[in-house]
Structure 1
Amino acid sequence: MSNPLLQNFNTPYGAAPFSKIKSKHFKPAFIEAIKLAKADIDKIVNNKEIPTFENTIEALDFSGEVLDRVSSIFFNLNSAETTDEIQKIAQEVSPLLSEFSNDVRLNKQLFKKVQLIFDIKNELNLTKEQETLLTNNYKSFVRNGANLNEKQKVELRKIDTELSKLKLKFGENVLAETNAFELHITNKEELKGLPESALEAAEFTAKQKKKKGWIFTLDYPSYIPFLTYAKNRELRKKMAVAFGSKAFQNNKYNNEDIVLNIAKLRHKRANLLGYKTHAHFVLEERMAENPQTVINFLDDLLVKAKPAAEKEFQQLKNLAQKDGIEQIQKWDSAYYSEKLKQELFDLDQEKLKPYFKLEHVINGVFEISNKLYDLIFEEINSVDIYHKDVKTYKVTDTTGKYIAILYADFFPREGKRNGAWMTSFKGQWIKNNENSRPHISIVCNFTKPTEKKPSLLSFNEVTTLFHEFGHALHGMLANTTYKSLSGTNVYWDFVELPSQLFENWCYEKEALNLFAKHFETGEIIPMDFIEKIKKSSNFLEGIQTLRQLSFGILDMAWHAKDPSKITDIKNYESLAFKNTQLYPEVEENCMSTSFSHIFQGGYSSGYYSYKWAEVLDADAFALFRKKGIFDKKTSLKFKTYILEKGGTEKPMELYLKFRGKKPTNEALLKRAGLVK
């Protein structure tokens, strides 16, 4: 059978030919692509010439091109447009990929060649980027078992195969639980307080499911408005408990054993490689360097945020007491937060939404990128897509030079996991003097258009779009020689800097005026709304900070300690949350069983990096604020030293080149209103 995944993509911009790719193509493509990648490795190993940077390190970086291509297409679809068949294939191919990865990293002859070059690196006159690539490669071999004995290598392979299967199963269970729940309401009286937009969306969902009334789901655009506005406290509780008990119920989707097994296998793997814990292993290759630095960082912010959080929590309790609620619960949080926000700032999210039509916000993101980085976005129909909702854009600079292809996938559906993320279908690299440009994708779960209204975003959804677009800029503007150092291939606690920095423009009048226009009248967002948005930007910042810290602390509890004695996940989690907890415990709920960031994604021992990057982004934006938010000189420096450079140098070295000084958390604490 001819397999489109294994042929040259003779398509516009070499984009993936999604309409020709069927699920049945994937497994044979993986088997063949692994064979081709092995041939690339054999060629390096069997080369009789003296090992050089070019014939070994560079050759390694450019090896496995077909495998990279097949993997990125497949695993992106598994997140954004999965099916039972794709999930089954994922379970079958993940061990093969794990085995291949181990075959490379545990190859004695290959490591010998890498080590030979590493030992004489000071004599080779390498560029900074080449030096980084060499060091990364050498460390990657050592950190993945090259120095282990044969018995230990067999053990490592076994652990890695098992982990790859468990992580996939974890994600499948969370998605199945998300899809399994629906709140079906036929009596409109029960929906008091919900805005028209939420009711319309729920009615539209019910119609799609051929039911009467309104259906609410655990997808964010349905779940968040319900918890924020529904007056019916019992129904809020029902939704919140369902959301918090994903993969923690007595059914086939329960993730408790999977969480324990993942934590124990990671710890065992770290010990095997000579590290005290999984966190020690991970953080060696991060800006933070070790678990104690992370714990100190989280503790320091906790001390500063907790008094503010407790004060804010008391305000919410006082408000709830006016409604006769003696004990405020988690399902009251969003509801009374919104009430308090309206009371303090007279700011109603629903009044803001008409100014944030999705298409206008997208155009705003494009225009801001143009002002900062000279980028132009043109919607095109010549690139194949994997779902009818996906939009595609050709990205050029103001001279007409081709920069990237951008895919944008905005709405929830059954085969798509919750949340928002940026990814790529093809990376960037320079080979034979040709700069091969990237294909970047942003995937979100925003409020869908209904029969009566276009997609109108909440302000939180606006900041989410800006956040993911910040990541996309990091990918699109990548300009390095080697693909493993390109774009977002940076230290994990540095990767959130471009995304979190870009969010800042959402709060600036100059930026909002470009895109915040009423979807019916075209009226630019009123000045007093902008003032209210700015004033409310650090609303309940103490509580928000505490929440973020609690996730980072839970992550470190799982990964910076020996988990072998843990038997009760819920109990263990409760102990980790003890110092950050404001609301009473909900017995039916457990976060770990659906904490996809750390048990399925790449954030294990890295969740702290959101807060870490906030310190960097607040410090960086302080410079933009001082020079002007569209100051070309400042944005050019950020583009040159951060966005284009990827992982070619150590993050702090790049940050110093951009900023001229090391960051402190002063700008973050000031912005958050946690210090005067």
Structure 2
Amino acid sequence: MSETSAPAEANPLLKAWHTPFETPPFAEILPEHFLPAFEQAFADHSAEVAAITHDPTQPDFDNTITAMERSGRLLSKVAAVFYDLVSAHSNPQILEIDKEVSLRMARHWNPIMMNAVLFGRIAMLHEKRAKLGLTGEQLRLLERTYTRFHRAGAGLDEAAKVRMAEINERLAHLGTSFSHHLLGDEQDWFMELGEADRAGLSDTFVAAAKAAAEERGMAGKAIVTLSRSSVEPFLQSSESRDLREKVYKAFTARGDNGNSNDNNETIVEILKLREERAGILGYPTYAAYRLEDSMAKTPEAVRGLLERVWKPARARALADRDALQALIAEEGGNFSLAPWDWRHYAEKLRQRRANFDDSAIKPYLVLDHMIEAAFDCATRLFGITFEERKDIPVWHPDVRVWEVKDRAGQHKALFYGDYFARPSKRSGAWMTSLRDQERLDAEVAPLVINVCNFAKGADGAPSLLSPDDARTLFHEFGHGLHGMLSDVTYPSLSGTSVFTDFVELPSQLYEHWQERPEVLQRFARHYQTGEPLPDDLLKRFLAARKFNQGFATVEFVSSALVDLEFHTQPAAACGDVRAFERRELEKIGMPAEISLRHRPTQFGHIFSGDHYASGYYSYMWSEVMDADAFGAFEEAGDIFDPATAKRLHDDIYSSGGSRDPEEAYIAFRGREPEPDALLRRRGLLETPEVA
């Protein structure tokens, strides 16, 4: 690598960590430490894999599969810290290093995943797996290992492997470029709010806008940024149609501005390379390749679910559109409803129909109280407890850490919460880990992270969440529980190492508790008075939950359909990304007043890497299960029913990837999920109300 190497003994990434629970000593870790650490980690891992590959003894589970599970520990350790900083607290130096690391990572893994000798050992074991006397978890690990190598191209001829390696390297570079471009556009743009620009904005929004300005070195000013937690409440509340349009267009144009951060050409090349890779592996399309290793199995199954939801969602959205246009006319507006108007007038319509608006409940959704609520639900369901620790090193002063203990009071995990938006953090919300649970050689407790982009309160005031923010907090904490409650032997099966259309089940299921009266009555308290959420407001909030679900569902399903079409149609058809987007939206009858939740040039889920490529539908596939799964608690008559919670823990949250997900779900629920549960939850089985 090009970076000057620091002596190994001076590099904190290459030393034992004498910190509480052997956590990363972030204050000691500098950008220049990463390249030498990766260099050492790649060398160590390559040597470990070579020893397995050339082991002269007959292949068995221990000297091949278990040995592979033991390999690469230093690489996992270094990469976890690095990618946490890349996403949550980057700087120009870190982002520059990321470009080189992504290329080196591809060059490191290609020869491993396409190693014919190593694959021969794995295939031999896989062929006689029924006679090896393996446990259920070991059998699952062998099957997943074989599948992973097979799908990476380990069985290809040498010429095909060379081309696959080239494709993988280029895709790694392009995915990194895509995310850097998106971050660049988000960092470069803000809109200052003068006194005259604040009509309709709540005091809490203005306070958050001032905190955002201070974060950018503009103390005393107030700004809107391109963080979703800034954009959406502005579009909802601002009385200035011109400013709403300006913010909306900046938000939806990220990555599509014809500047150095433009992602259009990047997308075209990514799609061509993915198509070529799928063809080399014998699949007709990238979606066919990608979905074979999922619960859905085929593009046709995915399209079937999405189209089933699309029809009632679109009908509801069109009925709502007409009602919003009527409201504009009633107010004397002489314009047609536009995408930057929808949230604003939908909020007015909700206030009229449900006598509820977000600003009324927001003072009761204090971030700290919602964190307590998430913890309390986990305690009541699973017996784990949370105690804040001030002695754990963190990557930014805003990050908080809690020690998690089990029912017996034994250490279970550490949970890091990084909740506030800042320029050094990419947009969105996610869960990741600095260390995964396993017990291959010793009990290893996980270090689990939740990252969000909530607006910080100004001048020491508490951060107040919108209902969507509060739901996001519970969603990511559900992912966090999947990591913290993991109880498996092998690292590759730990926590969230499951199919993408199953991984959203634990997170989306956990959202249900956030909106329950039993939870809100205890934890929704006014940030100034401490008064609990009034019963009347609670009832109106619960009654309003299904409002605007046509919009929300159309916004999501259209994005999932565009993702699917990008990866089922020939890449040549996608040469003009904007034209492709327009064509696909016309094909499905997308209402002109609603835009995709993620336009292609900012669709990091599918273009920053391939984890969700052809897989954005996963949230909805999982929602079928989560809506049905929560019904088990409702049928028990207690949302904390101990017997149901124990099944949920044992079959879903703790089992990681150690069993087939369909089998795991049936073990919990006693049957397959009932698809209409999703439509009922979103209120889409009812006849649309036409104005």
Q: Secondary structure at the match of 1:431?
A: coil
Q: Which residue does 1:637 correspond to in 2? A: 647
User: What's the offset of the Cα at 1:204?
Assistant: 3.6
Matched, 1:369 2:378: yes
Distance 1:157 1:81 in 2: 31
Distance 2:83 2:417 in 1: 17
Q: Is the 8 A contact 2:212 2:456 kept in 1?
A: no
Q: Is the 8 A contact 1:277 1:560 kept in 2?
A: yes
User: What's the offset of the Cα at 1:565?
Assistant: 3.5
The one of 147, 158, 174 aligned to 2:155: 147
Matched, 1:565 2:570: no
How much identity, in percent, do the aligned residues show?
Answer: 37
Distance 2:528 2:196 in 1: 29
Q: Is the 8 A contact 1:507 1:533 kept in 2?
A: no
Deviations 1:56-100 (A, max 9, x none): 011112210000111111111100001111111111111111111
Matched, 1:101 2:74: no
Q: Secondary structure at the match of 2:500?
A: coil
Q: Which residue does 1:307 correspond to in 2? A: 315
Matched, 1:449 2:447: no
The one of 349, 363, 372 aligned to 1:340: 349
Distance 1:473 1:571 in 2: 42
Q: Is the 8 A contact 1:553 1:577 kept in 2?
A: no
Q: Which residue does 2:182 correspond to in 1? A: 174
Q: Is the 8 A contact 2:90 2:425 kept in 1?
A: yes
The one of 195, 218, 222 aligned to 2:202: 195
Distance 1:482 1:548 in 2: 35
Letter in 2 for 1:65: R
Q: Which residue does 1:237 correspond to in 2? A: 245
The one of 473, 493, 504 aligned to 2:481: 473
Superposition map of 1:31-430 within 5 A: 31-186=39-194, 188-207=195-214, 209-210=217-218, 213-323=221-331, 324-430=333-439
Distance 1:483 1:315 in 2: 53
Q: Is the 8 A contact 1:18 1:386 kept in 2?
A: yes
Q: Which residue does 1:673 correspond to in 2? A: 683
Matched, 1:541 2:541: no
Distance 1:191 1:151 in 2: 62
Return closer, same or farther for 1:670/1:44 CA change in 2, 3 Å cut-off. Answer: same
Return closer, same or farther for 1:362/1:81 CA change in 2, 3 Å cut-off. Answer: same
Return closer, same or farther for 1:612/1:346 CA change in 2, 3 Å cut-off. Answer: same
Matched, 1:661 2:671: yes
Deviations 1:592-637 (A, max 9, x none): 1111111014211110011111110010011111111011111110
User: What's the offset of the Cα at 1:210?
Assistant: 3.2
The one of 635, 647, 650 aligned to 1:626: 635
Q: Which residue does 2:689 correspond to in 1? A: none
Worse-matched range after superposition: 304-313 or 604-613:
304-313
Superposition map of 1:533-612 within 5 A: 533-578=541-586, 579-584=588-593, 591-601=599-609, 602-612=611-621
Return closer, same or farther for 1:500/1:325 CA change in 2, 3 Å cut-off. Answer: farther
Distance 1:354 1:328 in 2: 30
User: What's the offset of the Cα at 1:584?
Assistant: 4.9
Q: Is the 8 A contact 2:106 2:169 kept in 1?
A: yes
User: How many residue pairs end up in the alignment?
Assistant: 673
Q: Is the 8 A contact 1:570 1:590 kept in 2?
A: no
Q: Is the 8 A contact 1:81 1:416 kept in 2?
A: yes
Distance 1:210 1:360 in 2: 29
Return closer, same or farther for 1:213/1:385 CA change in 2, 3 Å cut-off. Answer: closer
Q: Is the 8 A contact 1:547 1:580 kept in 2?
A: no
Q: Is the 8 A contact 1:428 1:437 kept in 2?
A: yes
Distance 2:484 2:214 in 1: 39
Deviations 1:222-263 (A, max 9, x none): 222211111110010000001111111121111100011111
Worse-matched range after superposition: 97-106 or 485-494:
97-106
Q: Secondary structure at the match of 1:422?
A: strand
Q: Which residue does 1:524 correspond to in 2? A: 532
Return closer, same or farther for 1:37/1:212 CA change in 2, 3 Å cut-off. Answer: same
Deviations 1:196-218 (A, max 9, x none): 11122223444553365432111
Return closer, same or farther for 1:586/1:635 CA change in 2, 3 Å cut-off. Answer: closer
Letter in 2 for 1:257: E
After TM superposition, the score normalised by the length of structure 2 is 0.95
Pairwise CA RMSD = 1.6
Distance 1:386 1:357 in 2: 24
Worse-matched range after superposition: 569-578 or 194-203:
194-203
Q: Which residue does 1:20 correspond to in 2? A: 28
For structure 2, list consecutive stretches of 5 or more residues without a partner in the other structure: 1-6, 687-691
Q: Secondary structure at the match of 1:456?
A: coil
Q: Is the 8 A contact 1:328 1:583 kept in 2?
A: no
Distance 2:555 2:401 in 1: 35
Return closer, same or farther for 1:207/1:476 CA change in 2, 3 Å cut-off. Answer: closer
Return closer, same or farther for 1:662/1:149 CA change in 2, 3 Å cut-off. Answer: same
Deviations 1:302-331 (A, max 9, x none): 123222221122112211222314311010
Q: Is the 8 A contact 1:615 1:664 kept in 2?
A: yes
Deviations 1:342-398 (A, max 9, x none): 111111211211111111111111111100110100000121100000001100023
Return closer, same or farther for 1:7/1:213 CA change in 2, 3 Å cut-off. Answer: closer
Letter in 1 for 2:673: P
Q: Is the 8 A contact 1:550 1:580 kept in 2?
A: no
Return closer, same or farther for 1:348/1:507 CA change in 2, 3 Å cut-off. Answer: same
Q: Is the 8 A contact 1:287 1:494 kept in 2?
A: yes
Return closer, same or farther for 1:669/1:138 CA change in 2, 3 Å cut-off. Answer: same
Worse-matched range after superposition: 641-650 or 533-542:
533-542
Q: Which residue does 1:438 correspond to in 2? A: 446
Distance 2:237 2:124 in 1: 64
Distance 1:622 1:541 in 2: 20
Q: Which residue does 1:613 correspond to in 2? A: 622
Q: Is the 8 A contact 2:212 2:455 kept in 1?
A: no
Distance 1:633 1:332 in 2: 47
Distance 1:470 1:631 in 2: 18
Distance 1:528 1:502 in 2: 25
Distance 2:61 2:460 in 1: 61
Letter in 2 for 1:612: W
Worse-matched range after superposition: 216-225 or 598-607:
216-225
User: What's the offset of the Cα at 1:452?
Assistant: 6.0
Q: Is the 8 A contact 1:490 1:646 kept in 2?
A: yes
Q: Secondary structure at the match of 1:435?
A: coil
